[in-house]
C-alpha cells in the first residue's frame, strides 16, 4: 500500500459498508475539544483540591457530561496528579472511587512554601 492511501495517523483507511473513510468526523471533533482539555482538567483538579469527589459528584458540581468528566479524571490520574482514595455511593446507588489530589512536594507551584526549609 502506498503512503498516499494512508490516513493522517499512518494507518490505512477503515472500510465501512464498502466505503473508505479517513475519520474526518472524529478528527474534526478532536480538534474542536483539544483547546478545552487543559481548561477542563484544571477545573476538575481545582474542584478536587477543594473536596475529594467521585466522578459523579464532579459531573454535578461542574456541569460536565459523564464522558468529559471521566476522560478528565483518567487523564489526571495517568499524569499522577490525582489518586483514588476510597469509595462512595453515586446517585444511582453504585459504589464509585473517590478521587483526591496526589500529595507530593513536587506538585506545589514554584516559589510556594510547603512547610519545609
CA within 13 Å, CB half, 36: 10
Could you give the CA distance from residue 21 to residue 7 in angstroms, rounded to a whole number? 9
Strand-pair partners of 83: 100
Domains and CATH numbers, the chain: 36-104 (1.10.10.10)
pLDDT interval class at 114 (50, 70, 90): very low
Tens of pLDDT, residues 31-67: 655 565 678 999 999 999 999 999 999 999 999 999 9
Tens of pLDDT, residues 74-113: 989 988 889 999 999 999 999 999 999 988 655 455 444 4
Amino acid at each position: 500500500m502506498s503512503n498516499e492511501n494512508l490516513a493522517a495517523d499512518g494507518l490505512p483507511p477503515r472500510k465501512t459498508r464498502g466505503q473508505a473513510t479517513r475519520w474526518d468526523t472524529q478528527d474534526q471533533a478532536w480538534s474542536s475539544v483539544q483547546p478545552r482539555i487543559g481548561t477542563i482538567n484544571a477545573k476538575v483538579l481545582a474542584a478536587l483540591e477543594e473536596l475529594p469527589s467521585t466522578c459523579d459528584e464532579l459531573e454535578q458540581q461542574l456541569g460536565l457530561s459523564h464522558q468529559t468528566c471521566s476522560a478528565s479524571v483518567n487523564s489526571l490520574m495517568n499524569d499522577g496528579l490525582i489518586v483514588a482514595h476510597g469509595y462512595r455511593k453515586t446517585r444511582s446507588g453504585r459504589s464509585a472511587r473517590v478521587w483526591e489530589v496526589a500529595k507530593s512536594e513536587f506538585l506545589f507551584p514554584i516559589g510556594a512554601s510547603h512547610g519545609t526549609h
